[in-house]
Amino acid sequence: MGHLTGFIDIQRENPAEQHPLERIKHWQEYQKPLSEDAIKLQASRCMDCGTPFCQIGSLINSSTSGCPLYNLIPEWNELAYQGKWLEAYQRLAKTNNFPEFTSRACPAPCEGSCTAGLPGQPVTIKSIEKAIIDRAFQEGWVNVKQPSKRTTKKIAIIGSGPAGLTAADDLNQLGHNVTVFEKDDRFGGLLMYGIPNMKIDKKYVERRIELLRKEGIVFKGNTHIGVDISLEELRKDYDAVLICTGADKPRELDITGRQLAGIHPAMEYLKESTKHHLNKQYIPSINAKDKKVIVIGGGDTGADCVATAIRQGCKSVVQFGKHGKLPPARSKTNPWPENPQVFTLDYAYEEAQSKFGMDPRQYFIQTKAFHGDKNGNVKSLETTSFLVDDQTESRFWEADLVLIAIGFDGVTDTFPNIEKKQNKISANDVDFKTNHDGIYTAGDARRGQSLIVWAMQEGKKAAQEINRYLYS
Ligand SMILES: Cc1cc2nc3c(=O)[nH]c(=O)nc-3n(C[C@H](O)[C@H](O)[C@H](O)COP(=O)(O)OP(=O)(O)OC[C@H]3O[C@@H](n4cnc5c(N)ncnc54)[C@H](O)[C@@H]3O)c2cc1C
Ligand code: SF4
């Protein structure tokens, strides 16, 4: 256990952030790491309480509580408190293949169920995780690791997001010969072409891919399985196949005017933006510069669109959500250790507030129709707002760029012979088997759009199942 009364004597300290008006001038990460002494103090707040809900990783009331990777949080908190950074890293690496991604973009459900959060503020688990992994890279502890022996087994993994990469890493370390097929030009899935650079700098994704490549994993980009190579062909050439293709089918808004120019799925927009960021020669087909932007959808993808539009120099930005504003503190129906459903000012909203003087979120709004100009470009949106006492109000909003971020409808259909349910690939979360012998699935393709940590958990578990299958 850290400091005997650490959680009482020491206040939670979050990493400092660059001022929103400064950080919107660039696409780099904007959090400043806590000093080594500050991290030790923060780690000392962990009581090793004996009820470590922080590491249970389960769904309570449909929301994630605790770490789905079962990270050994109290153990590495203690090691960080003692300044034993190498040991802390070794502990972290036991359960988490890529802490450099989770410590940057995970919403930290571990903190939502930390016992110290009951009477006060939870331990800054995510910042401690980041300090450990960043130090490990700086010190050169994250090295190329070759498996001690190679088997003759060949495994194909379709999709290079966090699920595919985690499974590839574990299967490679077991000595198998792993090839990752990716339809895009770059690897990383949504780590590369979904989550903006401000949240995960793409240099970290590329650094990890390079390490995995050096460890023996073969990466084949620009290869669309189901189009360039059939799944059946792949299965013939490999001892097992794992489908980790994500859930990238955008949910549509089928209303009047949807065909107008200037209305796009959020992912198309975010991907174009990152492509341009990584290659300035690439001119994005969608750009928010000088535009009045409306984002439909109140979730995290919508927030990333807000932050991206601000950096591109939009004239204004508004985000529609169909739900109401969350309460400032947990309600009675949302007790610990459930994930707290409370109002927060995400990075994007802080930036909009600083730039335009208002939180861009509008609540209880439903879009009824898009209206266009004579050239077929979107000009305005017609909405209904739900007021108190079941009253509604209609309103028009000017816009010349609309981004639809209302979620995803499962997988894009490229494997007609693989069974699906509600447009997700059918398999349970115990054996991860599809209806075809030797073909497995994990991550968002199986569970629907989720979180990096869940994708990684599924990648790990599916890798174990495939290993078992290879020797059955
Ligand atoms: C905009 C956005 C922001 C997000 N932000 C966060 C966040 O901050 N924190 C968080 O925890 N989660 C976040 N998420 C969710 C998280 O990114 C996903 O849950 C996670 O990436 C899923 O991992 P995956 O490996 O299952 O699939 P993906 O990451 O979607 O990767 C699937 C890969 O498969 C490839 N592929 C698909 N079909 C084929 C095929 N037929 N052949 C070859 N390759 C194929 C795709 O090109 C893609 O690269 C975000 C999601 C979005 C959309
Ligand atoms: S991976 Fe996410 S849930 Fe797990 S310890 Fe890190 S921040 Fe918490």
State the CATH number of the domain containing residue 300.
Answer: 3.50.50.60
Task: Give a yes or no: residue 293 inside a domain.
Answer: yes
- Both tokens of 279, joined, read 């290659």
Tell me, using a 6 A CB cutoff, whether residue 348 lines ligand 1.
no
In this predicted structure, the answer to whether residue 260 has a pLDDT above a threshold of 70 is: yes
- Both tokens of 251, joined, read 């949910």
Question: What gap in Å lies between CA 427 and CA 444, rounded to an integer?
Answer: 12
Do 267 and 400 share a structural domain?
Answer: yes
Task: Give a yes or no: residue 443 inside a domain.
Answer: yes
| Domain final residue, candidates 90, 110, 139 | 139
Candidate of 201, 245, 304 to mutate for ligand 1, largest count of ligand atoms within 8 Å of Cβ: 245
Host domain of residue 356: 263-404
Rounded to the nearest angstrom, the distance between the alpha carbon of 56 and the centre of ligand 2 is 11
End-to-end CA distance of the chain: 43
Do 276 and 322 share a structural domain?
Answer: yes
Q: Which residue, 33, 79, 69, 74, is CA-closest to 52?
A: 74
Q: What is the separation of C-alpha 1 from the centre of its chain, rounded to a whole number of angstroms?
A: 31
Do 164 and 82 share a structural domain?
Answer: no
pLDDT computed for residue 388 by the predictor: 74
Question: What gap in Å lies between CA 243 and CA 231, rounded to an integer?
Answer: 10
Segment 49-67 mean pLDDT: 92
Do 461 and 386 share a structural domain?
Answer: no
In this predicted structure, the answer to whether residue 120 has a pLDDT above a threshold of 70 is: yes
Rounded to the nearest angstrom, the distance between the alpha carbon of 191 and the centre of ligand 1 is 7
The bound ligand whose nearest atom lies closest to the alpha carbon of 270 is: 1
Ligand 2 atom closest to 111 (CA): 8
In this predicted structure, the answer to whether residue 1 has a pLDDT above a threshold of 80 is: no
H helical segments located in 3-142: 6-9, 20-23, 36-43, 73-81, 85-95, 99-105, 109-112, 125-139
The bound ligand whose nearest atom lies closest to the alpha carbon of 72 is: 2
In this predicted structure, the answer to whether residue 2 has a pLDDT above a threshold of 70 is: no
Q: Which residue, 400, 197, 251, is CA-closest to 318?
A: 400
Do 415 and 400 share a structural domain?
Answer: no
Do 367 and 299 share a structural domain?
Answer: yes
Do 331 and 395 share a structural domain?
Answer: yes
State the CATH number of the domain containing residue 57.
Answer: 1.10.1060.10
pLDDT computed for residue 219 by the predictor: 98
- Both tokens of 434, joined, read 């599809």
Q: Which residue, 304, 306, 303, is CA-closest to 314?
A: 306
pLDDT computed for residue 119 by the predictor: 87
Question: What residues form DSSP beta bridges with 243?
Answer: 158, 441
Rounded to the nearest angstrom, the distance between the alpha carbon of 268 and the centre of ligand 1 is 13
Ligand 2 pocket (Cβ < 6 Å) reads 67, 69, 71, 73, 102, 106, 108-110, 125-126, 129, 453
Q: Which residue, 238, 230, 272, is CA-closest to 151?
A: 238
Question: What gap in Å lies between CA 58 and CA 45, rounded to an integer?
Answer: 24
Strands 378-386 and 392-398: antiparallel
* Separate counts of helices (H) and strands (E) for the chain: 17, 19
Task: Give a yes or no: residue 253 inside a domain.
Answer: no
Task: Name the domain count of the chain.
Answer: 3
Ligand 2 atom closest to 106 (CA): 2
Count of CA atoms in the C-beta half-sphere (13 A) of 377: 9
Do 299 and 241 share a structural domain?
Answer: no
pLDDT tens, position by position, 270-329 = 999 999 999 999 999 999 999 999 999 999 999 999 999 999 999 999 999 999 999 999
